[in-house]
Amino acid sequence: MTDQTATPRAFSASVPLKGRIAIPGDKSISHRSLMLSALAIGESRVTGLLEGHDVLATAAAMRAMGATIERQDDGEWRVHGVGVGGLLQPQCALDMGNSGTSTRLLMGLVASHPITATFVGDASLSGRPMGRVIDPLAQMGADISASPGGRLPLMVRGLAPAIPLSYRLPMASAQVKSAVLLAGLNTPGITEVIEPVPTRDHSERMLRGFGAELTVDTDGDGTRHIHIRGEAELKPQSIIVPGDPSSAAFFIVAALVVPGSDVTIANVGLNPTRAGLVDVLKQMGGDIELLNEREVGGEPVADLRVHHSNLKGIEVDPAAAPSMIDEFPILFVAAALAKGRTTTTGLDELRVKESDRLAVMAAGLDAIGVRVEESEDGLVIDGTGGDPLPGGATIAGHLDHRICMSFAIAGLVSKAPVTIDDIAPVATSFPNFEALLVGLQR
């Protein structure tokens, strides 16, 4: 049966990409800025907020729990918070759409408030594992009833006061870390998260920025011990959200692989816990220049100038994975155009993203004529050395924005068009993706 509501879109061989673009705000930072502003007492202001569906789901949920959140005509967002401990009982289920970050972080917040919330989401989100947050939050006293397999729909009955916890992360996940830290915000005493493999640290940075007492100690082996003192009082802030490196990634790779391209991407967040892709692409021979390096909203930022490059295949160090976990789909496209073999390992977490990104990328790349082998925890790709890909297939995006955008870029370097079965999911993280692409093709 065909889906009558799907919007297919074809992408074909492109002229050189030229010009300068600014990408939208960082998704992770946007979610956190709304959540923490909604827990501060007084008015916070957020500029550069990503207005994608995922972040709007967070905004709607925080409103449903008592915060006032309004967009001004100039694009600034104003948030009046309820104070830590002040979240109200939502009157209906919280619709998380496609957003794992909204779901897991908000489950953390609800867990230590005296309220009950039901979480629902789309087909992709309803297939994703929530046991990873249910376990620690249940240890803190929340009563959580989930659908079979620890999935959505699920209901969280919070406990206040909750029980402080020392929790060692069993997998590298910023969402699980953040869920526990956010639960710790309204929990008496000290909540600890032990993080053997560092993941994105936006929650830590922003919690401190809002005035929470949060410390990080790092062991000799790199394990991080993060402590937060609960019953915190958050002070309202003015936040500038830097551009999202995970969105920039599609245009970085597009400029590298489309012959003759010269693109400058302004305002790209380069927090070291997020910037792994740039290093890996440089190792592959990518010509990426960092210009105008500066700090925006407590995060390192630069403009990136990217020229078309002859890429070569490499073995990607699995230790780099957490700092580029969302960038593997587009890295696989770069690998498909590189000379020689690219090998990736240690990517089991990709199987529980918006789709199983190893299986879905392998199937799609195979369909457009790329030589690809899927292993348990990675892909091995033999690239063309810059020759165009055959293309000429319709790709199932599986409600995964990053799959859709990765194959859109692959279409730009394919002999026959690459069609995405439904382009709509792109709006979860990058509403103006197509408009920016067209602008660079003029």
By CB under 6 A, name the one of 195, 201, 204, 326 that touches ligand S3P: 326
Q: Which of 53, 54, 49, 57 is nearest to 33 (CA)?
A: 49
For ligand S3P, the closer of residues 236 and 322 by Cβ is 322
For ligand S3P, the closer of residues 178 and 237 by Cβ is 178
For ligand S3P, the closer of residues 33 and 267 by Cβ is 33
Q: What is the dihedral of CA 40, 84, 92, 137, to 10 degrees?
A: 130
Site map 268..307 versus ligand S3P, x via CB under 6 A: ----------------------------------------
CB-count exposure of residue 399 (10 Å: 0-12, 13-18, 19+): buried
Least CB distance from residue 101 to ligand S3P, whole Å? 4
Q: What is the dihedral of CA 83, 64, 111, 222, to 10 degrees?
A: -70
How far apart (Å, rounded) are the C-alpha atoms in residues 224 and 239?
26
E strand spans, 222-315: 224-229, 238-240, 262-269, 287-296, 299-307
Binding of ligand S3P at residue 173 (CB under 6 A)? yes
Amino acid in position 44: S
By CB under 6 A, name the one of 37, 58, 178, 309 that touches ligand S3P: 178
Least CB distance from residue 75 to ligand S3P, whole Å? 22
How far apart (Å, rounded) are the C-alpha atoms in residues 352 and 112?
26
User: Considering only residues 330-389, where is the footprint of ligand S3P by CB under 6 A?
Assistant: 349
Torsion 311-315-321-325 (CA) sign: positive
For ligand S3P, the closer of residues 8 and 300 by Cβ is 300
Least CB distance from residue 100 to ligand S3P, whole Å? 6
Least CB distance from residue 128 to ligand S3P, whole Å? 9
Strand pairing category for 190-195 and 214-218 = unpaired
For ligand S3P, the closer of residues 192 and 326 by Cβ is 326
Least CB distance from residue 392 to ligand S3P, whole Å? 31
Instruction: Give the total of residues touching ligand S3P (CB under 6 A).
Output: 10
Least CB distance from residue 181 to ligand S3P, whole Å? 11
Least CB distance from residue 54 to ligand S3P, whole Å? 9
Whether the Cβ atoms of residue 252 and residue 261 lie closer than 8 Å to each other: no
Amino acid in position 424: A
Q: Edge-to-edge strand order for the sheet containing 378-384? A: 339-343, 378-384, 371-375
Binding of ligand S3P at residue 174 (CB under 6 A)? yes
CB-count exposure of residue 345 (10 Å: 0-12, 13-18, 19+): middle
Contact range with ligand S3P by CB under 6 A, out of 135-143, 167-175, 212-220, 332-340: 167-175
For ligand S3P, the closer of residues 303 and 327 by Cβ is 327
Contact range with ligand S3P by CB under 6 A, out of 70-78, 174-182, 300-308, 377-385: 174-182
How far apart (Å, rounded) are the C-alpha atoms in residues 402 and 246?
9
Binding of ligand S3P at residue 175 (CB under 6 A)? yes
Contact range with ligand S3P by CB under 6 A, out of 16-24, 170-178, 385-393, 418-426: 170-178
The tokens for 195 are 């993080």
By CB under 6 A, name the one of 9, 23, 28, 191 that touches ligand S3P: 28
Strand pairing category for 238-240 and 41-47 = parallel
Least CB distance from residue 421 to ligand S3P, whole Å? 22
For ligand S3P, the closer of residues 26 and 192 by Cβ is 26
By CB under 6 A, name the one of 14, 44, 58, 101 that touches ligand S3P: 101
Q: Point out the residues that are catalytic.
A: 326
For ligand S3P, the closer of residues 124 and 173 by Cβ is 173
How far apart (Å, rounded) are the C-alpha atoms in residues 91 and 65?
8
For ligand S3P, the closer of residues 176 and 423 by Cβ is 176
Contact range with ligand S3P by CB under 6 A, out of 11-19, 169-177, 255-263, 339-347: 169-177
Least CB distance from residue 120 to ligand S3P, whole Å? 19
Whether the Cβ atoms of residue 116 and residue 156 lie closer than 8 Å to each other: yes
Q: Give exposure, 302-332, as e/b (b: 16+ Cβ within 10 Å).
A: bbbbbebbebbbbebeeebbbbbbbbbbbbb
Strand pairing category for 166-168 and 190-195 = parallel
- Contact residues for 74 (Cβ-Cβ < 8 A; gap 6+): none
Amino acid in position 371: R
Contact range with ligand S3P by CB under 6 A, out of 172-180, 229-237, 340-348, 419-427: 172-180
Rule CB under 6 A: which residues touch ligand S3P?
A: 28, 101, 173-175, 178, 200, 325-326, 349
